């Protein structure tokens, strides 16, 4: 899903009313996501980025699964409202976790790249949930994406967040956290400017750029060369 100032089908689906509702609920903590950055030129598939640069965490720190000494490091940049990201997390991610992460072969780093204010809101809630609940809440938002990426998103989002222990007060306070939103925007800007991320999902597999939702078979092909020997 491309990062572009142009309204996409998903943006249209959200509608101005939804954005206004989120802003009101967050006491203006969420503003219309800036699309004024000039996206970097498209990096060809397979292009390499510096692992030393890639592994520098942003202001929020990294959310990581797997062992630090795993032979393969996969960094994913994803937007919570992106249907391709949702498809990856519902189909390929469980296989990746079972086959590679849990067996010590892959270290997985998930980084938020919100494409719109609603994606930013979901990312903020996942961060506010705490380290132990971050990935479960991300999984829940992706699995139930069709329920909350709607014209009136706040109540379905709160229903999902309640499962992670949110109260109405903590939900509202999280969405009003301007510093958290600023940090998310910094992470998004750095990904665009430093690593040419301009669509979601974008993966870096030991520094190699891979764009689009990988199938389990495609993931196997990408990872296999690093596991030989």
Per-residue pLDDT of the chain (229 residues; tens, 9 = 90+): 655 433 344 433 333 344 445 545 543 333 334 443 333 345 555 789 999 999 999 999 999 999 999 999 999 999 999 999 999 999 999 999 999 999 999 999 999 999 988 999 999 999 999 989 999 999 999 999 999 998 888 999 999 999 999 999 999 899 888 889 889 999 999 999 999 999 999 999 999 999 999 999 999 999 999 997 6
pLDDT at 191 (0 to 100): 96
Within a 10 A sphere around the Cβ of 1, how many other Cβ atoms?
22
Name the pTM for this structure. 0.83
Q: In what order do the strands lie in the sheet with 106-112?
A: 63-65, 106-112, 72-78, 202-205, 208-211
Tell me 65's DSSP state.
E
Query: What class has domain 9-227?
Result: alpha beta
pLDDT at 29 (0 to 100): 38
Q: Please, what is the end-to-end C-alpha distance for the chain in angstroms?
A: 36
Question: What phi-psi label fits residue 49: left (phi over 0), alpha (psi between -120 and 50 degrees) or beta?
Answer: beta
CB of 153 within 8 A of CB of 160? Answer: no
Q: Where are the domains of the chain?
A: 9-227
């Amino acid at each position: 899903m491309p990062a572009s100032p142009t309204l996409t089908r998903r943006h249209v689906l959200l509608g101005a009313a939804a954005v206004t509702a989120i802003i009101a609920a967050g006491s203006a903590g969420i503003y219309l996501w800036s699309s004024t950055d000039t996206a970097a030129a498209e990096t060809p598939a397979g292009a390499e980025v510096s692992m030393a640069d890639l592994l520098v965490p942003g202001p929020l720190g990294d959310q990581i699964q797997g062992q630090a000494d795993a032979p393969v490091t996969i960094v994913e940049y994803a937007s919570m409202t992106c249907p391709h990201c949702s498809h990856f997390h519902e189909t390929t991610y469980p296989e990746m976790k079972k086959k590679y992460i849990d067996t010590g072969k892959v270290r997985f780093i998930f980084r938020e790249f919100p494409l719109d204010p609603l994606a930013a809101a979901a990312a903020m809630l996942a961060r506010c949930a705490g380290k132990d609940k971050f990935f479960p809440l991300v999984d829940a938002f992706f699995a139930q994406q069709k329920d909350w990426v709607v014209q009136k998103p706040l109540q379905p989002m709160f229903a999902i967040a309640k499962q992670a222990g949110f109260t109405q007060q903590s939900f509202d306070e999280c969405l009003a956290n301007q510093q958290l939103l600023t940090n998310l925007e910094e992470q998004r800007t750095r990904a665009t400017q430093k690593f040419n991320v301009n669509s979601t999902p974008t993966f870096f597999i030991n520094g190699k750029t891979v764009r689009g939702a990988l199938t389990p078979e495609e993931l196997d092909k990408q990872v296999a060369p690093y596991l030989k020997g």
